[in-house]
Amino acid sequence: MAISVGDKLPDVTLVKPGAEGPEKIQSGEYFAGKKVALFAVPGAFTPTCSARHLPGYVEKAGDLKAKGVDEIACTSVNDAFVMDAWGKSADAGSVTMLADGNAELAEALGLTMDGSGFGMGKRSQRYSMIVEDGVVKEINVEAPGDFNVSSADHMLGQL
């Protein structure tokens, strides 16, 4: 069963690229006490994710923060080194890159997909959510192959 509005995010281990290498963080601690615009992509460096999804959040970071968002975070079933390289290549300093390398978050949210037809294995579905103090306030899950409701523009309309 997928997570819903009003649910508390599960507490799982994620990995954040840091100045001294990968840093393990608990999602419960990361989301506590702040309003986070979280979005997930099936894979770093994949076409839609790199051309539209991440760039949209980078471009709209100021607008999101002006509407009360404390932090913008991107998660993907990739390792922290890939997430770090992708964030740097996209000049995404305004977005916290969170590696969900073992799909713990995607599984706990009930938002996995099977990308094995593309040689990608288990991945996260494309989605966005507004999380306040660890509680889901809005959630937008894309239909397979779509990119509409998880965009930064759509999220701006929800704030």
Q: Please give the positions annotated as active site.
A: 49
Tokens of 119: 């040689």
Burial pattern 61-92, b for ≥16 Cβ within 10 A else e, equals: beebeeeebebbbbbbbbbbebbbbbbeebeb
Tokens of 144: 């397979």
User: How far is residue 155 CA from its own chain's centroid?
Assistant: 13
